């Protein structure tokens, strides 16, 4: 499985997870099958509000899941339509969230928990 983590800077698996997908400076993609990681610069960081192109942001890398502190509804819908599951980060680092995801302890983000929605659960 290829899991994408939004991060501010590459500190490997000790990188803090960033608070919002669309404005994350970069992403760390962990391939759990090959036990490898790759850092990708956000290629869509300067998009207009509400116009995030999440697949362009990750450089069109193949990903199966995203773990992030917060995400907008448009980005969530686009990722889900591409078959990508989005999970809410519950711990500070990539490593801690990866462990929690592998243990089934991270919840998928729903539209009611996206940024910019009334009563939404945006974490940033």
* pTM greater than the 0.75 cutoff: yes
SS3 (DSSP) at 55 = helix
The parent domain of residue 49 ranges over: 2-113
Q: What is the pLDDT of residues 10-37, one digit of tens each?
A: 999 999 999 888 888 999 999 999 899 9
**Would you call 100 helix, strand, or coil by DSSP?**
helix
**Domain contains 18:** yes
Q: Is residue 122 part of a domain?
A: no
35-49 mean pLDDT? 78
Residue 121 in tokens: 């659960």
Task: Give domain status of residue 34, yes or no.
Answer: yes
Domain of residue 100, CATH code:
3.30.420.130
Quick check: is 55 in a domain?
Answer: yes
Position 77 pLDDT exceeds 80:
yes
Asked whether residue 43 is assigned to any structural domain, the reply reads: yes
Q: Looking at the 3D structure of the chain, how many domains does it have?
A: 1
For residue 118, being part of any structural domain is answered with no
């Amino acid at each position: 499985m290829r899991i994408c983590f939004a991060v501010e800077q590459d500190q490997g698996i000790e990188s803090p997870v960033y608070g919002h997908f669309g404005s994350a400076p970069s992403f760390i993609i962990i391939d759990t099958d090959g036990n490898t990681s790759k850092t990708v610069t956000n290629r869509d960081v300067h998009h207009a509000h509400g116009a995030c192109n999440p697949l362009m942001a990750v450089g069109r890398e193949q990903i199966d899941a995203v773990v992030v502190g917060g995400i907008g509804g448009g980005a969530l819908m686009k990722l889900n339509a591409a078959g990508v599951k989005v999970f809410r980060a519950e711990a500070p680092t990539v490593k801690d969230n990866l462990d929690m995801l592998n243990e089934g302890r991270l919840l998928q983000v729903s539209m009611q928990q996206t940024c910019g929605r009334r009563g939404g659960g945006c974490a940033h």
